[in-house]
Amino acid sequence: RSGEMAKSTQLIDNEVFRAYATYTAIVLMKMKLMSLVTAYYRLTRKAFVNPEDVASFGKGDSAKKYLRTDPDVERVRRGHLNDLENIVPFVGIGLLYALSGPEPSTALLHFRIFTGARILHTFAYLIPLPQPSRALSWAVGYAVTFSMAYKVLKTVLLL
Amino acid sequence: RSGEMAKSTQLIDNEVFRAYATYTAIVLMKMKLMSLVTAYYRLTRKAFVNPEDVASFGKGDSAKKYLRTDPDVERVRRGHLNDLENIVPFVGIGLLYALSGPEPSTALLHFRIFTGARILHTFAYLIPLPQPSRALSWAVGYAVTFSMAYKVLKTVLLL
Amino acid sequence: RSGEMAKSTQLIDNEVFRAYATYTAIVLMKMKLMSLVTAYYRLTRKAFVNPEDVASFGKGDSAKKYLRTDPDVERVRRGHLNDLENIVPFVGIGLLYALSGPEPSTALLHFRIFTGARILHTFAYLIPLPQPSRALSWAVGYAVTFSMAYKVLKTVLLL
Protein backbone atom coordinates (compact mmCIF):
# COMPACT_ATOMS: atom_id res chain seq x y z
CA ARG A 1 0.00 0.00 0.00
CA SER A 2 2.94 2.33 0.57
CA GLY A 3 3.68 2.16 -3.17
CA GLU A 4 0.20 3.39 -3.95
CA MET A 5 0.56 6.13 -1.38
CA ALA A 6 3.78 7.31 -2.96
CA LYS A 7 2.10 7.45 -6.35
CA SER A 8 -0.91 9.31 -5.12
CA THR A 9 1.22 11.99 -3.55
CA GLN A 10 3.16 12.68 -6.74
CA LEU A 11 0.56 15.20 -7.82
CA ILE A 12 1.41 17.32 -4.80
CA ASP A 13 5.08 17.32 -5.87
CA ASN A 14 4.24 18.96 -9.17
CA GLU A 15 5.26 22.63 -9.16
CA VAL A 16 2.07 24.03 -10.71
CA PHE A 17 -0.11 21.86 -8.50
CA ARG A 18 1.76 23.03 -5.39
CA ALA A 19 1.20 26.64 -6.38
CA TYR A 20 -2.48 25.88 -7.03
CA ALA A 21 -2.78 24.24 -3.61
CA THR A 22 -1.09 27.18 -1.90
CA TYR A 23 -3.24 29.89 -3.45
CA THR A 24 -6.44 27.83 -3.16
CA ALA A 25 -5.82 27.33 0.56
CA ILE A 26 -5.19 31.07 0.94
CA VAL A 27 -8.29 32.30 -0.91
CA LEU A 28 -10.57 29.71 0.72
CA MET A 29 -9.32 30.71 4.18
CA LYS A 30 -9.77 34.37 3.27
CA MET A 31 -13.36 33.55 2.28
CA LYS A 32 -13.94 31.73 5.55
CA LEU A 33 -12.67 34.72 7.53
CA MET A 34 -15.75 36.58 6.28
CA SER A 35 -17.78 34.43 8.70
CA LEU A 36 -15.71 35.76 11.60
CA VAL A 37 -16.13 39.36 10.43
CA THR A 38 -19.89 38.79 10.17
CA ALA A 39 -19.95 37.33 13.69
CA TYR A 40 -17.90 40.29 14.97
CA TYR A 41 -20.36 42.83 13.52
CA ARG A 42 -23.39 40.84 14.72
CA LEU A 43 -22.02 40.86 18.27
CA THR A 44 -20.80 44.47 18.36
CA ARG A 45 -23.86 45.90 16.51
CA LYS A 46 -26.18 43.52 18.35
CA ALA A 47 -27.96 42.54 15.13
CA PHE A 48 -29.13 38.93 14.98
CA VAL A 49 -31.52 36.92 12.89
CA ASN A 50 -32.47 33.80 14.93
CA PRO A 51 -34.62 34.09 18.09
CA GLU A 52 -32.42 31.49 19.84
CA ASP A 53 -29.39 33.76 19.27
CA VAL A 54 -30.86 36.56 21.42
CA ALA A 55 -32.39 34.36 24.14
CA SER A 56 -29.55 35.26 26.52
CA PHE A 57 -30.50 38.96 26.25
CA GLY A 58 -33.71 38.33 28.16
CA LYS A 59 -37.33 37.50 27.31
CA GLY A 60 -39.88 39.25 25.09
CA ASP A 61 -39.30 42.71 23.67
CA SER A 62 -36.00 43.25 25.49
CA ALA A 63 -34.49 40.47 23.33
CA LYS A 64 -36.59 40.92 20.18
CA LYS A 65 -35.19 44.36 19.49
CA TYR A 66 -31.87 42.69 18.59
CA LEU A 67 -33.55 40.69 15.80
CA ARG A 68 -32.77 43.26 13.15
CA THR A 69 -30.59 43.91 10.15
CA ASP A 70 -27.55 46.17 10.36
CA PRO A 71 -25.87 47.86 7.38
CA ASP A 72 -22.39 46.71 8.41
CA VAL A 73 -23.50 43.10 8.86
CA GLU A 74 -25.29 43.11 5.50
CA ARG A 75 -22.21 44.57 3.81
CA VAL A 76 -19.96 41.77 5.06
CA ARG A 77 -22.58 39.20 4.04
CA ARG A 78 -22.65 40.60 0.50
CA GLY A 79 -18.85 40.40 0.39
CA HIS A 80 -19.03 36.80 1.58
CA LEU A 81 -21.60 35.86 -1.07
CA ASN A 82 -19.48 37.56 -3.73
CA ASP A 83 -16.57 35.40 -2.58
CA LEU A 84 -18.71 32.26 -2.94
CA GLU A 85 -19.66 33.33 -6.46
CA ASN A 86 -16.06 34.02 -7.49
CA ILE A 87 -13.61 32.08 -5.34
CA VAL A 88 -15.45 28.74 -5.57
CA PRO A 89 -15.36 28.71 -9.42
CA PHE A 90 -11.65 29.62 -9.21
CA VAL A 91 -11.02 26.52 -7.07
CA GLY A 92 -12.82 24.24 -9.56
CA ILE A 93 -11.43 25.76 -12.76
CA GLY A 94 -8.00 26.22 -11.19
CA LEU A 95 -7.72 22.50 -10.42
CA LEU A 96 -8.46 21.57 -14.04
CA TYR A 97 -6.12 24.34 -15.21
CA ALA A 98 -3.29 23.08 -12.98
CA LEU A 99 -3.79 19.59 -14.45
CA SER A 100 -3.88 20.87 -18.05
CA GLY A 101 -0.13 21.40 -18.10
CA PRO A 102 0.27 25.19 -18.21
CA GLU A 103 3.66 26.91 -18.16
CA PRO A 104 4.58 27.20 -14.45
CA SER A 105 5.31 30.92 -14.76
CA THR A 106 1.98 31.56 -16.53
CA ALA A 107 0.11 29.52 -13.95
CA LEU A 108 1.76 31.36 -11.06
CA LEU A 109 0.81 34.66 -12.66
CA HIS A 110 -2.85 33.59 -12.87
CA PHE A 111 -2.96 32.39 -9.27
CA ARG A 112 -1.17 35.45 -7.89
CA ILE A 113 -3.27 37.99 -9.77
CA PHE A 114 -6.51 36.25 -8.79
CA THR A 115 -5.52 36.07 -5.12
CA GLY A 116 -4.38 39.69 -5.05
CA ALA A 117 -7.55 40.85 -6.79
CA ARG A 118 -9.81 39.03 -4.33
CA ILE A 119 -7.95 40.41 -1.31
CA LEU A 120 -8.26 43.91 -2.79
CA HIS A 121 -11.96 43.25 -3.46
CA THR A 122 -12.51 42.41 0.21
CA PHE A 123 -10.85 45.64 1.38
CA ALA A 124 -12.72 47.64 -1.28
CA TYR A 125 -16.01 46.16 -0.05
CA LEU A 126 -15.45 46.37 3.71
CA ILE A 127 -13.76 49.77 4.13
CA PRO A 128 -15.48 50.69 1.62
CA LEU A 129 -13.25 52.27 -1.01
CA PRO A 130 -14.86 54.53 -3.64
CA GLN A 131 -15.87 52.85 -6.86
CA PRO A 132 -14.54 51.64 -9.26
CA SER A 133 -12.13 49.97 -6.78
CA ARG A 134 -14.50 47.12 -6.03
CA ALA A 135 -15.72 46.78 -9.61
CA LEU A 136 -12.19 46.63 -11.00
CA SER A 137 -10.86 44.13 -8.46
CA TRP A 138 -13.91 41.96 -9.16
CA ALA A 139 -13.36 42.21 -12.93
CA VAL A 140 -9.70 41.20 -12.67
CA GLY A 141 -10.56 38.01 -10.74
CA TYR A 142 -13.36 37.32 -13.21
CA ALA A 143 -11.05 37.68 -16.22
CA VAL A 144 -8.36 35.44 -14.69
CA THR A 145 -10.94 32.68 -14.13
CA PHE A 146 -12.15 32.89 -17.73
CA SER A 147 -8.55 32.84 -18.97
CA MET A 148 -7.96 29.59 -17.04
CA ALA A 149 -11.25 28.11 -18.32
CA TYR A 150 -10.21 28.94 -21.90
CA LYS A 151 -6.91 27.09 -21.44
CA VAL A 152 -8.74 24.10 -19.92
CA LEU A 153 -11.24 23.88 -22.78
CA LYS A 154 -8.51 24.35 -25.40
CA THR A 155 -6.56 21.46 -23.85
CA VAL A 156 -9.25 18.91 -22.99
CA LEU A 157 -12.39 19.69 -24.99
CA LEU A 158 -14.40 16.46 -25.23
CA LEU A 159 -18.14 17.04 -25.52
CA ARG B 1 11.05 17.41 -12.96
CA SER B 2 9.75 16.92 -16.50
CA GLY B 3 9.06 13.28 -15.63
CA GLU B 4 6.88 14.33 -12.71
CA MET B 5 5.11 16.82 -14.88
CA ALA B 6 4.34 14.15 -17.47
CA LYS B 7 2.91 11.90 -14.77
CA SER B 8 0.79 14.59 -13.24
CA THR B 9 -0.79 15.43 -16.55
CA GLN B 10 -1.85 11.85 -17.29
CA LEU B 11 -5.13 12.40 -15.49
CA ILE B 12 -6.05 14.99 -18.08
CA ASP B 13 -5.48 12.40 -20.84
CA ASN B 14 -8.11 10.08 -19.40
CA GLU B 15 -11.27 10.16 -21.51
CA VAL B 16 -13.76 10.43 -18.63
CA PHE B 17 -11.65 13.06 -16.89
CA ARG B 18 -11.45 15.11 -20.08
CA ALA B 19 -15.24 15.02 -20.41
CA TYR B 20 -15.56 15.99 -16.73
CA ALA B 21 -13.17 18.90 -17.22
CA THR B 22 -15.04 20.08 -20.32
CA TYR B 23 -18.51 20.08 -18.76
CA THR B 24 -17.28 21.44 -15.45
CA ALA B 25 -15.64 24.39 -17.23
CA ILE B 26 -18.88 24.98 -19.17
CA VAL B 27 -21.27 24.91 -16.20
CA LEU B 28 -18.96 27.00 -14.00
CA MET B 29 -18.64 29.63 -16.73
CA LYS B 30 -22.42 29.56 -17.21
CA MET B 31 -22.78 30.17 -13.47
CA LYS B 32 -20.33 33.06 -13.60
CA LEU B 33 -22.27 34.67 -16.46
CA MET B 34 -25.09 35.21 -13.93
CA SER B 35 -22.91 37.95 -12.40
CA LEU B 36 -22.86 39.79 -15.73
CA VAL B 37 -26.64 39.44 -16.12
CA THR B 38 -27.07 40.82 -12.59
CA ALA B 39 -24.78 43.75 -13.41
CA TYR B 40 -26.69 44.37 -16.64
CA TYR B 41 -30.04 44.56 -14.81
CA ARG B 42 -28.59 46.68 -12.00
CA LEU B 43 -27.32 49.22 -14.54
CA THR B 44 -30.39 49.27 -16.82
CA ARG B 45 -32.95 49.19 -13.95
CA LYS B 46 -30.79 51.53 -11.86
CA ALA B 47 -31.18 49.34 -8.77
CA PHE B 48 -28.13 49.22 -6.51
CA VAL B 49 -27.38 48.17 -2.99
CA ASN B 50 -24.17 49.92 -1.91
CA PRO B 51 -24.06 53.72 -1.35
CA GLU B 52 -20.64 53.90 -3.06
CA ASP B 53 -22.19 52.38 -6.21
CA VAL B 54 -24.55 55.33 -6.69
CA ALA B 55 -22.14 58.10 -5.66
CA SER B 56 -21.66 59.07 -9.33
CA PHE B 57 -25.41 59.78 -9.64
CA GLY B 58 -25.09 62.80 -7.36
CA LYS B 59 -25.38 63.52 -3.66
CA GLY B 60 -28.20 62.96 -1.17
CA ASP B 61 -31.69 61.94 -2.29
CA SER B 62 -30.92 62.17 -6.01
CA ALA B 63 -28.58 59.20 -5.59
CA LYS B 64 -30.35 57.43 -2.72
CA LYS B 65 -33.41 56.70 -4.82
CA TYR B 66 -31.32 54.17 -6.77
CA LEU B 67 -30.60 52.18 -3.61
CA ARG B 68 -33.54 49.84 -4.11
CA THR B 69 -34.43 46.32 -5.06
CA ASP B 70 -35.73 45.47 -8.50
CA PRO B 71 -37.73 42.31 -9.38
CA ASP B 72 -35.54 41.50 -12.40
CA VAL B 73 -32.32 41.89 -10.41
CA GLU B 74 -33.67 39.72 -7.59
CA ARG B 75 -34.76 37.04 -10.08
CA VAL B 76 -31.26 36.75 -11.56
CA ARG B 77 -29.78 36.66 -8.07
CA ARG B 78 -32.07 33.76 -7.12
CA GLY B 79 -30.99 31.93 -10.28
CA HIS B 80 -27.36 32.56 -9.38
CA LEU B 81 -27.82 31.23 -5.84
CA ASN B 82 -29.62 28.17 -7.22
CA ASP B 83 -26.59 27.59 -9.45
CA LEU B 84 -24.28 27.78 -6.42
CA GLU B 85 -26.46 25.23 -4.62
CA ASN B 86 -26.53 22.82 -7.56
CA ILE B 87 -23.53 23.36 -9.85
CA VAL B 88 -20.94 23.50 -7.05
CA PRO B 89 -21.93 20.04 -5.65
CA PHE B 90 -21.84 18.70 -9.23
CA VAL B 91 -18.23 19.87 -9.56
CA GLY B 92 -17.21 18.14 -6.30
CA ILE B 93 -19.17 14.92 -6.78
CA GLY B 94 -18.34 14.83 -10.49
CA LEU B 95 -14.61 14.85 -9.79
CA LEU B 96 -14.90 11.85 -7.46
CA TYR B 97 -17.23 10.16 -9.93
CA ALA B 98 -14.78 10.69 -12.80
CA LEU B 99 -12.04 9.10 -10.66
CA SER B 100 -14.24 6.16 -9.63
CA GLY B 101 -13.85 4.49 -13.01
CA PRO B 102 -17.31 4.79 -14.58
CA GLU B 103 -18.08 3.56 -18.11
CA PRO B 104 -17.13 6.48 -20.41
CA SER B 105 -20.51 6.40 -22.17
CA THR B 106 -22.39 6.41 -18.83
CA ALA B 107 -20.22 9.24 -17.52
CA LEU B 108 -20.75 11.32 -20.67
CA LEU B 109 -24.51 10.80 -20.34
CA HIS B 110 -24.43 12.09 -16.74
CA PHE B 111 -22.35 15.16 -17.63
CA ARG B 112 -24.40 16.01 -20.72
CA ILE B 113 -27.79 15.66 -19.05
CA PHE B 114 -26.66 17.72 -16.05
CA THR B 115 -25.27 20.49 -18.23
CA GLY B 116 -28.36 20.56 -20.45
CA ALA B 117 -30.67 20.60 -17.43
CA ARG B 118 -28.86 23.53 -15.82
CA ILE B 119 -28.87 25.58 -19.03
CA LEU B 120 -32.61 24.90 -19.36
CA HIS B 121 -33.04 25.87 -15.71
CA THR B 122 -31.42 29.24 -16.35
CA PHE B 123 -33.70 30.00 -19.29
CA ALA B 124 -36.75 28.76 -17.34
CA TYR B 125 -35.82 31.10 -14.49
CA LEU B 126 -34.87 34.21 -16.46
CA ILE B 127 -37.51 34.31 -19.21
CA PRO B 128 -39.46 33.00 -17.07
CA LEU B 129 -41.10 29.88 -18.51
CA PRO B 130 -44.30 28.61 -16.86
CA GLN B 131 -43.86 25.97 -14.20
CA PRO B 132 -43.09 23.08 -14.03
CA SER B 133 -40.26 23.96 -16.51
CA ARG B 134 -37.98 25.29 -13.80
CA ALA B 135 -38.93 22.61 -11.26
CA LEU B 136 -38.31 19.78 -13.73
CA SER B 137 -34.98 21.06 -15.03
CA TRP B 138 -33.89 21.53 -11.41
CA ALA B 139 -35.01 17.97 -10.52
CA VAL B 140 -33.11 16.42 -13.44
CA GLY B 141 -29.84 18.06 -12.39
CA TYR B 142 -30.52 17.04 -8.79
CA ALA B 143 -31.13 13.38 -9.74
CA VAL B 144 -27.98 13.23 -11.90
CA THR B 145 -25.87 14.47 -8.99
CA PHE B 146 -27.33 11.87 -6.62
CA SER B 147 -26.76 9.15 -9.23
CA MET B 148 -23.07 10.12 -9.40
CA ALA B 149 -22.84 10.25 -5.59
CA TYR B 150 -24.33 6.75 -5.39
CA LYS B 151 -21.68 5.42 -7.80
CA VAL B 152 -18.92 7.14 -5.80
CA LEU B 153 -20.10 5.71 -2.47
CA LYS B 154 -20.59 2.22 -3.98
CA THR B 155 -17.00 2.33 -5.29
CA VAL B 156 -15.05 3.94 -2.45
CA LEU B 157 -17.08 3.69 0.76
CA LEU B 158 -14.62 3.93 3.65
CA LEU B 159 -16.13 5.38 6.78
CA ARG C 1 -5.94 3.62 -23.36
CA SER C 2 -6.82 1.01 -20.73
CA GLY C 3 -3.36 1.50 -19.24
CA GLU C 4 -4.00 5.19 -18.79
CA MET C 5 -7.38 4.46 -17.29
CA ALA C 6 -5.83 2.10 -14.74
CA LYS C 7 -3.33 4.76 -13.75
CA SER C 8 -5.90 7.48 -13.42
CA THR C 9 -8.02 5.39 -11.08
CA GLN C 10 -5.16 4.63 -8.69
CA LEU C 11 -5.94 7.76 -6.73
CA ILE C 12 -9.28 6.27 -5.79
CA ASP C 13 -7.50 3.18 -4.37
CA ASN C 14 -5.59 5.31 -1.89
CA GLU C 15 -6.99 4.90 1.62
CA VAL C 16 -7.03 8.58 2.58
CA PHE C 17 -8.50 9.56 -0.78
CA ARG C 18 -11.26 6.95 -0.42
CA ALA C 19 -12.15 8.33 3.00
CA TYR C 20 -12.12 11.85 1.56
CA ALA C 21 -14.41 10.78 -1.29
CA THR C 22 -16.80 9.05 1.13
CA TYR C 23 -17.19 11.97 3.52
CA THR C 24 -17.28 14.54 0.73
CA ALA C 25 -20.11 12.67 -0.98
CA ILE C 26 -21.96 12.49 2.35
CA VAL C 27 -21.67 16.16 3.29
CA LEU C 28 -22.45 17.38 -0.23
CA MET C 29 -25.57 15.21 -0.34
CA LYS C 30 -26.53 16.46 3.13
CA MET C 31 -26.16 20.01 1.81
CA LYS C 32 -28.31 19.21 -1.21
CA LEU C 33 -31.06 17.79 1.02
CA MET C 34 -31.55 21.36 2.30
CA SER C 35 -33.17 22.12 -1.08
CA LEU C 36 -35.77 19.42 -0.46
CA VAL C 37 -36.45 20.72 3.06
CA THR C 38 -36.88 24.22 1.63
CA ALA C 39 -39.30 22.89 -1.02
CA TYR C 40 -41.23 20.98 1.67
CA TYR C 41 -41.69 24.12 3.80
CA ARG C 42 -42.55 26.28 0.77
CA LEU C 43 -45.31 23.82 -0.21
CA THR C 44 -46.71 23.18 3.29
CA ARG C 45 -46.46 26.84 4.44
CA LYS C 46 -47.55 28.05 1.00
CA ALA C 47 -44.77 30.63 0.86
CA PHE C 48 -43.32 31.25 -2.58
CA VAL C 49 -41.19 33.88 -4.22
CA ASN C 50 -41.77 33.65 -7.99
CA PRO C 51 -45.13 34.65 -9.56
CA GLU C 52 -44.97 31.63 -11.91
CA ASP C 53 -44.77 29.32 -8.86
CA VAL C 54 -48.21 30.38 -7.61
CA ALA C 55 -49.95 30.59 -11.02
CA SER C 56 -51.72 27.28 -10.34
CA PHE C 57 -53.37 28.79 -7.24
CA GLY C 58 -55.49 31.10 -9.41
CA LYS C 59 -55.22 34.62 -10.77
CA GLY C 60 -54.69 37.97 -9.09
CA ASP C 61 -54.88 38.40 -5.33
CA SER C 62 -55.91 34.80 -4.64
CA ALA C 63 -52.47 33.70 -5.87
CA LYS C 64 -50.46 36.78 -4.86
CA LYS C 65 -51.06 36.19 -1.16
CA TYR C 66 -48.76 33.17 -1.38
CA LEU C 67 -45.86 35.36 -2.55
CA ARG C 68 -44.54 35.88 0.94
CA THR C 69 -41.70 34.94 3.26
CA ASP C 70 -42.18 32.36 5.99
CA PRO C 71 -39.94 32.04 9.08
CA ASP C 72 -39.48 28.27 8.62
CA VAL C 73 -38.54 28.65 4.97
CA GLU C 74 -36.07 31.44 5.77
CA ARG C 75 -34.52 29.35 8.55
CA VAL C 76 -33.81 26.42 6.20
CA ARG C 77 -32.41 28.82 3.62
CA ARG C 78 -30.02 30.28 6.19
CA GLY C 79 -28.92 26.75 7.09
CA HIS C 80 -28.38 26.01 3.39
CA LEU C 81 -26.29 29.14 2.89
CA ASN C 82 -24.24 28.29 5.98
CA ASP C 83 -23.58 24.88 4.41
CA LEU C 84 -22.38 26.55 1.21
CA GLU C 85 -20.05 28.76 3.24
CA ASN C 86 -18.60 25.86 5.22
CA ILE C 87 -19.02 22.57 3.34
CA VAL C 88 -17.77 23.89 0.00
CA PRO C 89 -14.41 25.08 1.46
CA PHE C 90 -14.11 21.69 3.19
CA VAL C 91 -14.43 19.95 -0.19
CA GLY C 92 -11.69 22.11 -1.74
CA ILE C 93 -9.28 22.11 1.21
CA GLY C 94 -10.01 18.43 1.96
CA LEU C 95 -8.95 17.40 -1.54
CA LEU C 96 -5.59 19.16 -1.19
CA TYR C 97 -5.25 17.77 2.34
CA ALA C 98 -5.94 14.21 1.14
CA LEU C 99 -3.23 14.66 -1.51
CA SER C 100 -0.73 16.12 0.97
CA GLY C 101 -0.01 12.70 2.48
CA PRO C 102 -1.52 12.93 5.97
CA GLU C 103 -1.54 10.00 8.40
CA PRO C 104 -4.64 7.95 7.48
CA SER C 105 -5.86 7.91 11.09
CA THR C 106 -5.42 11.69 11.41
CA ALA C 107 -7.18 12.27 8.12
CA LEU C 108 -10.10 10.04 9.08
CA LEU C 109 -10.42 11.94 12.35
CA HIS C 110 -10.61 15.25 10.49
CA PHE C 111 -13.22 14.00 8.02
CA ARG C 112 -15.36 12.31 10.68
CA ILE C 113 -15.37 15.25 13.08
CA PHE C 114 -16.21 17.69 10.29
CA THR C 115 -19.06 15.53 8.99
CA GLY C 116 -20.46 14.96 12.47
CA ALA C 117 -20.24 18.66 13.30
CA ARG C 118 -22.08 19.69 10.16
CA ILE C 119 -24.87 17.15 10.71
CA LEU C 120 -25.23 18.43 14.27
CA HIS C 121 -25.23 22.00 12.94
CA THR C 122 -28.15 21.19 10.66
CA PHE C 123 -30.21 19.71 13.50
CA ALA C 124 -29.26 22.60 15.79
CA TYR C 125 -30.44 25.06 13.13
CA LEU C 126 -33.64 23.34 12.01
CA ILE C 127 -35.12 22.10 15.31
CA PRO C 128 -33.78 24.67 16.61
CA LEU C 129 -31.67 23.69 19.62
CA PRO C 130 -30.80 26.39 22.18
CA GLN C 131 -27.50 28.18 21.69
CA PRO C 132 -24.59 27.56 21.88
CA SER C 133 -25.40 24.24 20.10
CA ARG C 134 -25.36 25.79 16.66
CA ALA C 135 -22.40 28.08 17.40
CA LEU C 136 -20.29 25.22 18.75
CA SER C 137 -21.05 22.76 15.94
CA TRP C 138 -20.23 25.54 13.47
CA ALA C 139 -16.95 26.32 15.28
CA VAL C 140 -15.83 22.68 15.27
CA GLY C 141 -16.29 22.37 11.51
CA TYR C 142 -14.52 25.70 11.06
CA ALA C 143 -11.52 24.62 13.16
CA VAL C 144 -11.22 21.28 11.33
CA THR C 145 -11.08 23.09 7.98
CA PHE C 146 -8.35 25.46 9.21
CA SER C 147 -6.39 22.51 10.61
CA MET C 148 -6.46 20.85 7.18
CA ALA C 149 -5.50 24.12 5.47
CA TYR C 150 -2.54 24.47 7.84
CA LYS C 151 -1.31 20.96 6.94
CA VAL C 152 -1.73 21.75 3.22
CA LEU C 153 0.24 25.01 3.45
CA LYS C 154 2.95 23.39 5.59
CA THR C 155 3.36 20.65 2.97
CA VAL C 156 3.11 22.51 -0.33
CA LEU C 157 3.73 26.22 0.27
CA LEU C 158 4.91 27.69 -3.02
CA LEU C 159 4.03 31.34 -3.41
**What local confidence, expressed as pLDDT, does residue C1 receive?**
36
Would the pLDDT of A4 be above 80?
no
**What local confidence, expressed as pLDDT, does residue A61 receive?**
81
Nearest-CA residue of chain A relative to B23? A159
**Residue C84 forms part of a structural domain:** yes
Chains touching C, CB cut-off 8 Å, 3+ pairs: A, B
**Cβ–Cβ gap B96/C35 under 8 Å:** no
**Residue C81 forms part of a structural domain:** yes
| Mean pLDDT (whole number) for B89-95 | 98
| Mean pLDDT (whole number) for B119-131 | 97
**Residue A1 forms part of a structural domain:** no
User: Predicted confidence band at A58 (pLDDT cuts at 50, 70, 90)?
Assistant: confident
Predicted confidence (pLDDT) per residue in C71-80, tens digit = 999 999 999 9
**What local confidence, expressed as pLDDT, does residue C3 receive?**
41
Residues composing chain C: 159
Measured CA to CA, the distance from residue C76 to residue C87 in angstroms comes to 16
Would the pLDDT of C130 be above 60?
yes
**A9, A53, A88: residue with CB nearest C99:** A9
| Mean pLDDT (whole number) for B46-65 | 89
ipTM for this prediction: 0.92
**What local confidence, expressed as pLDDT, does residue A8 receive?**
43
Interface contact A129, partner B, CB < 8 A:
yes
CATH code of the domain in which B87 resides:
1.20.120.550
**Cβ–Cβ gap B75/C50 under 8 Å:** yes
User: Predicted confidence band at A6 (pLDDT cuts at 50, 70, 90)?
Assistant: very low
Predicted confidence (pLDDT) per residue in A112-121, tens digit = 999 999 999 9
Among residues B134, B33, B125, B142, which one has the least CA distance to residue B74?
B125
Measured CA to CA, the distance from residue A129 to residue C11 in angstroms comes to 45
Would the pLDDT of A73 be above 50?
yes
Would the pLDDT of B57 be above 90?
no
Would the pLDDT of B90 be above 50?
yes
**Residue B55 forms part of a structural domain:** no
| Mean pLDDT (whole number) for B64-86 | 97
**Residue C6 forms part of a structural domain:** no
Which residues make beta-bridge pairs with C67?
Answer: C48
**Residue A51 forms part of a structural domain:** no
**What local confidence, expressed as pLDDT, does residue A104 receive?**
96
Nearest-CA residue of chain C relative to B86? C32
Which residues make beta-bridge pairs with C48?
Answer: C67
Q: Which string of b and e fits B86-95 if b means at least 16 CB within 10 Å?
A: bbbbbbbbbb
User: Predicted confidence band at C6 (pLDDT cuts at 50, 70, 90)?
Assistant: very low
User: Predicted confidence band at A12 (pLDDT cuts at 50, 70, 90)?
Assistant: confident
Interface contact A127, partner B, CB < 8 A:
no
Would the pLDDT of B2 be above 50?
no
**What local confidence, expressed as pLDDT, does residue B69 receive?**
95
| DSSP-derived 3-state class of residue C14 | coil
**What local confidence, expressed as pLDDT, does residue A63 receive?**
86
- Dihedral sign (CA B156, C98, A151, B119): positive
Span of A56-65, A146-155, C116-125 with lowest mean pLDDT: A56-65
The residue range of the domain holding C79 is: 15-44+70-153
Would the pLDDT of A140 be above 50?
yes
**Residue A106 forms part of a structural domain:** yes
The average confidence (pLDDT) of chain B is 92
User: Predicted confidence band at C61 (pLDDT cuts at 50, 70, 90)?
Assistant: confident
Span of B63-67, C95-99, C131-135 with lowest mean pLDDT: B63-67
**Residue A159 forms part of a structural domain:** no
Answer yes or no: are the C-beta atoms of C48 and C67 closer than 8 Å.
Answer: yes
**Cβ–Cβ gap A8/C84 under 8 Å:** no
**What local confidence, expressed as pLDDT, does residue B10 receive?**
72
Number of domains in chain B: 1
